[in-house]
Structure 1
Amino acid sequence: MTLVGKLEGMTVSMQGGSGMEATLERRLVMQGDPDTPYLKGAFFVAAYQRGYRWGRDEVRQLLDDIKGNLTDAQKRREFPGDYILQPIVVLRRDDGWELVDGQQRLTTLLLITKYIATTLPGSAVAYSLSYETREGSKQYLENLDRSRRDENIDFHHIAAAYDAIAEWFSEQSNATQAAIDIHSALSQWVYVIWYEAPPGTDPTELFIRLNRDRIPLTDSELIKALVLSNSAREGAHFSRQQEIAAQWDGFERDLRDAQFWAFLTGSSTTRSTHIDFLFESLTPDAGLKARPRFWTFSQVLEQVAATNIDAFWDEVVARHGLLVGWYKDRELYHRIGYLIATGTHVTDLIEASKSQTHSAFATYLRQLIRNRLDLTAADVSLLRYDDSRQAEKCVEILLLMNVETVLASSDQGARFSFFEYALRGWSLEHIHAQNSQEFKKEEQRRDWLVSHRAKINRTTWNTDAQGEVDALIRGIDKHLALPPTRTDIDGFQDIQGRVFTLFSTDGDTSDEDDLHGLGNLALLQREFNSKLNNAVFALKRERILELDAQGAYLLPCTRNVFLKYYTGSEDQQLSFWSSQDRAAYYDTLIAVVSDFLKPDVITSGESD
């Protein structure tokens, strides 16, 4: 990147619109190219700050990061990309600069160059540091008189950091070459973001603001300063800056809406600033999961330098409008939300939408879902819970059923909540358990027996079943009467099997495949799932209805299952989940998702 020179002298109108100005630019740590700004001058660390506290880990991490950036570039046979450190925040003084934020980094960088000078004489930064609370601190840093290290806690930490630097260089395969490499890095591609606060700023208040909860300046704060400053430099009227500031606040407010955020990201996790998402979506490699420090800001710098601030901001406004438009369009909202919830990145969809009409894009989304599932109806019939790869497909199919069910609702205001889906955490649940997984603890077995004993007693049984019911209750009571430390796994499994049989319909010949297939699976919050796991349908239904009455969030199709919505009234048996129930539920599932399944392949020899 060659933008540093272009940004020299940039002025920034602060967001309050007070007319006060600040300076924002990138500066090399050491003097390098004559046209590139670098750190210089006398820095004063006021008493309101704590002293130097970086330890061995922080020092080594900084050196490792710089070396890692160089190593990665060498592997690619390229010159290292710019490495940008956290911002340095300063206020102008008559005799130099008050260092409001960044003393740990500047002190460490000074110490690194002190060590490099032992190999490369003359190597030095062009700045000095002094601490208001430590008399002689400037001289101590210049001379590093080790005999003074125990004079105070700051000198002690500074000396320890220098020792850590020396240790790091001694561990390199070639200490001299390592010194040359780090010197080259600091004078060619390691930058700080220089942020000079407006004249008249209260330094103590600014320090508290920057360091409360140790929250540094974000990409978006730096981008905002860049946008407002350039709009001022390009001759825009002050009202233009006010307009941008108002739009900025509106975009941040929109993106903080939990439903909108989850729709775009598939996540319920918030950030300190959400508008960063817009800028990330406009930059190359927008799908990166991990971004280097201030990577987005650097990319925006390039875009602004290549065009102008108005073009960049117009693109931001258009991107926001596109995403809001998708959110408000009921069909696009559900299809896009589903794709993002199942792993598609929104920027891929943005790119695909650029050359398509609305209807063509809607068709594209349906095809994209079809391609993602990559299933025929025959494939769906073979999906099983007890195969981890197939179980993932089961989740995708069931989620699609829920999303499409809401979309097909006659209530045009109904919308699937991707926020609730992202927030709660969902897992596959057997609607009716038959062969439960083995309980690991006796306490779990006893809890299961207590809850199912209560359900048996609450159920009205036919006269011909009463004998089996009474015998089963006696068996449960006998097990529960055993000492709590007594384990009778065989006895429990016998009782458990009899309970499952009792709560199964006569003539139900379901095999293991039926019970692990989609006709017996639903999505349930993990929290609820853990409480309902291994229960018979009748007990699960009872508890699901209790949760529903309490206002708990249930996916619509899961709720429908336990309300027996999919079973015809003539086949309703509320205490059982029969083969008829499974077939009706499965048929509905296939009907709902059929538009997203590939056609079944008819092999030779088959006929209509």
Structure 2
Amino acid sequence: MAQRNLTYSIRGIFTDCLPDHHASQYLIAAYQRGYKWESGTAEAAAPVSNQLGGPPVGQVDKLLADLWRAFEAPRRDGIPIDYYLQFLTLKPALMSKGRTALEVIDGQQRLTTLSLFFAVLRQTLGDGAGAGFAFIENSGPSSGSAAGKLEYAVRDHFLEEFVYQGNIHKLLEAPSWEAFLEASFNVTSFDCDQQDIFYLYKAAHKISSFLQDEQRRPKAAAFGLYVADSCRLIANVIEEEISSEDVFSDLNSNRVPLTDTELVKGLLLTRASRSVSSSFQQVQELRASQGRQWDEIARWLQLPGVRVLYGLKTEHALWQLLRLVALRKAAPFPAVRSLVPHRDAAAGPGFALYEFFEYLLSFGAQAPTAEDCFIELQLLSGLLHDWFNTPDIHNQLGALQASKRYEKKGELMERITAEEQLLAGGPRTFLRQEIGKLSCLKSDLAALSYDAGSEKAFDLLLLLNVFPERSKGNDDEKADSYPFDFARFSAEKWSLEHIYPQHPAWAEEQAPVGTRESLLALAAQDSQPADPAIVELLMQETWSEEETQKLQQYLRADNQLLHSLGNLALLTSGDNSSVSNAPFAEKRRRLMQRVRQGSFVAPHTFSVFSKLILSESTSPFDWTKADIRAHATYLDQQLARLVQEFSTPSLTPTA
């Protein structure tokens, strides 16, 4: 099947699309409703048959405002950003005298408004400046062929009499609807008191007043060129065998908002099916099959666990995967690859990814086909499935995504899916190396504290939870045999929490407020004997300046222990806020209750509050300075283990 363009500029719709399909005109068939786009506030001068009401701003106003906003938008490298006006659905139709037309099944309101726009623009600019916008008309004399390239079957020749060939002045010079009805134009008789003609009249006046605005009039010619050459329509030409009425009904009851991703879907699936099929039935069957596969990929990417693991945004997940397809397929062409939209373009204006794919597919003989790109999408989706279901890769990816200090999250998927990376043996070695570079594994334990290095402290505790110590003597019980629940970890917003609280509630309840009592309480928490000199000093009624400084040093030393890594664990933000100042016993009770209820609890956090990892533990319901020091010793050992684990080559087979 011959390959034709799908996307045209507005100028191209009138100059290229028609000859591409061996047609001379666009036809609005009789079954279509008439022109219905409103222009501003409906006035009392509505036709007798239909006194209009409705919203203060109509579709014509919105189209003009959108076009002007796009025209005034900042340029990209000095080039206007293209603006897309949805789809045209067209179908070849045989007219009289053997002529072929493209029947407009969907998009007639836009096409009619654009025809009015360029007719009014020519009138506004005059013959000299407006000649360049005559592309909406046929170049031959009207006696030999139709004057305009758009024809309404139900209003035969109306556009020729009142729009084309400069006749738009008949609409514009009538100052009111009544004046237009009363005018004698000495032309073929029309029943002008009709709703669609009223809307055409109002639209022409709205466009004229818009262009004649004192702020826009000096830019009218440049604006017209922008609309003609930088605004685009997608022409979907269906087969002649399909019923136009059925398609029209389906389109007008199942409209889907136009997005960058949907445009890419239409481009790839339409071209891919055409390139491998010849009959209409084969094309339809293949499109349906590919569409189902596309939708399955899109649904899978929306799963919370998938989005969190791969750093995908809810509204842009499929866009991000398609961008990876673009990067991989453009890899052989560095100049083209440099044009792949930036990661942030998903949330920006326009259709950056669609424009790129359209350019890539037309790059030359060596360019990938739409089928190549669709196959690549399936391949990447399959890889993501495999990695998601492979525990060690899953955990390594998730640890980097959840890290507070890993600065290359935005590049992670781009780097891991690069062809050279896949050929180098898959993701395992790369991910291990990236984890090994985390700053928490390059620091001493003393540098990982709540007040000076909290992000690095978070990362180390995260790694301990994701990669806990393996059970000795039981090789089957490997920590990497089970994927960590990063979706719950992210949704519940796990964060650093003091095990022994910063501002313990019992200190306020059981002791008077004051330095002496606070220091006594802190000293009492230490299972080791307190310095006798400090105890004796605390018993004094008054302190000298030197004694005060000595006590302050003792307090600072205690605060340092309070904020050290040995007194930290990860808890959900909800638990953190609700029990932040509660004693250890209450925090432990809450945590164990979560475990009994089947809630997700990070492994290291559970081990800390159950005291399973402390070799010389005190009471299971108390958390003393001795416990903080014992926990710090354990963490020091685990830090050494993780450094060793992520600095040696992986012995696991590559994926």
Normalising by the smaller structure, the TM-score range is 0.5 to 0.7
Q: CA deviation at 1:561?
A: 2.7
Residue equivalent to 2:608: 561
Residue equivalent to 1:486: none
Whichever residue aligns with residue 107 of structure 1, its letter is T
SS in 2 for 1:30: helix
Residue equivalent to 2:71: 66
Name the stretch that deviates more: 55-64 or 149-158.
149-158
Residue equivalent to 1:537: 584
In structure 1, distance between residues paired with 2:517 and 2:115? 68
Residue equivalent to 2:229: 188
SS in 2 for 1:523: strand
Name the stretch that deviates more: 288-297 or 252-261.
252-261
Structure with larger Rg: 2
Does 2:353 correspond to 1:296?
A: yes
In structure 2, distance between residues paired with 1:522 and 1:354? 35
Residue equivalent to 1:396: 459
Name the stretch that deviates more: 205-214 or 413-422.
205-214
In structure 1, distance between residues paired with 2:208 and 2:558? 70
Does 2:406 correspond to 1:425?
A: no
1:271-310 mapped onto 2 (5 Å cutoff): 275-284=318-327, 285=340, 288-291=343-346, 292-305=349-362, 306-310=367-371
In structure 2, distance between residues paired with 1:282 and 1:229? 20
In structure 2, distance between residues paired with 1:282 and 1:432? 50
Contact 2:70 2:81 in 1 (8 A): no
In structure 2, distance between residues paired with 1:27 and 1:320? 31
Residue equivalent to 2:373: 312
The percentage of aligned residue pairs carrying the same residue is 18
Relative contact order, higher structure (CA 8 A, sep 6+):
1
In structure 1, distance between residues paired with 2:280 and 2:520? 81
1:171 to 202, 215, 227: 215
1:27-66 mapped onto 2 (5 Å cutoff): 27-31=8-12, 35=16, 41-43=26-28, 51-52=37-38, 53-54=58-59, 59-66=64-71
Residue equivalent to 1:88: 88
In structure 2, distance between residues paired with 1:186 and 1:282? 31
Does 2:149 correspond to 1:147?
A: no
Whichever residue aligns with residue 147 of structure 1, its letter is S
Q: CA deviation at 1:422?
A: 3.5
Cα–Cα, structure 1 residues 376 and 97, in superposed 2: closer, same or farther, change >3 Å?
same
In structure 2, distance between residues paired with 1:283 and 1:338? 27
In structure 1, distance between residues paired with 2:86 and 2:119? 19
In structure 1, distance between residues paired with 2:300 and 2:573? 30
TM-score calculated relative to the size of structure 2: 0.63
Residue equivalent to 1:264: 310
TM-score calculated relative to the size of structure 1: 0.67
Q: CA deviation at 1:416?
A: 0.9
Q: CA deviation at 1:26?
A: 0.6
Contact 1:429 1:522 in 2 (8 A): yes
Contact 1:434 1:515 in 2 (8 A): yes
Cα–Cα, structure 1 residues 561 and 170, in superposed 2: closer, same or farther, change >3 Å?
farther
Cα–Cα, structure 1 residues 237 and 547, in superposed 2: closer, same or farther, change >3 Å?
same
Cα–Cα, structure 1 residues 60 and 596, in superposed 2: closer, same or farther, change >3 Å?
farther
Contact 1:54 1:161 in 2 (8 A): no
In structure 1, distance between residues paired with 2:418 and 2:643? 27
Contact 1:26 1:194 in 2 (8 A): yes
Residue equivalent to 2:43: none
Q: Deviations over 1:243-266 (max 9, x none)?
A: 655654554454344433432235
Count of aligned positions: 514
Q: CA deviation at 1:51?
A: 4.4
In structure 2, distance between residues paired with 1:559 and 1:518? 16
Does 2:422 correspond to 1:373?
A: no
1:512 to 540, 546, 559: 559
In structure 1, distance between residues paired with 2:151 and 2:523? 81
Contact 2:82 2:232 in 1 (8 A): yes
SS in 1 for 2:26: strand
Q: Deviations over 1:99-132 (max 9, x none)?
A: 5358469737854773475133243562659899
Cα–Cα, structure 1 residues 72 and 396, in superposed 2: closer, same or farther, change >3 Å?
same
Name the stretch that deviates more: 238-247 or 327-336.
238-247
Residue equivalent to 2:265: 220
Residue equivalent to 1:405: 468
Q: CA deviation at 1:415?
A: 0.6
In structure 2, distance between residues paired with 1:427 and 1:131? 68
Cα–Cα, structure 1 residues 90 and 511, in superposed 2: closer, same or farther, change >3 Å?
farther
Q: Deviations over 1:320-358 (max 9, x none)?
A: 333233233332222223334442431122117536433
Q: Deviations over 1:50-85 (max 9, x none)?
A: 84434867643432323436x3232xxxx5565444
In structure 1, distance between residues paired with 2:92 and 2:514? 78
In structure 2, distance between residues paired with 1:326 and 1:148? 67
Structure 2: unaligned runs, 5 residues or longer: 39-57, 96-100, 137-148, 180-192, 328-339, 404-408, 472-476, 531-553, 649-655
Does 2:417 correspond to 1:350?
A: yes
In structure 1, distance between residues paired with 2:15 and 2:110? 27
Cα–Cα, structure 1 residues 576 and 155, in superposed 2: closer, same or farther, change >3 Å?
farther
Contact 1:402 1:556 in 2 (8 A): yes
Contact 1:434 1:500 in 2 (8 A): no
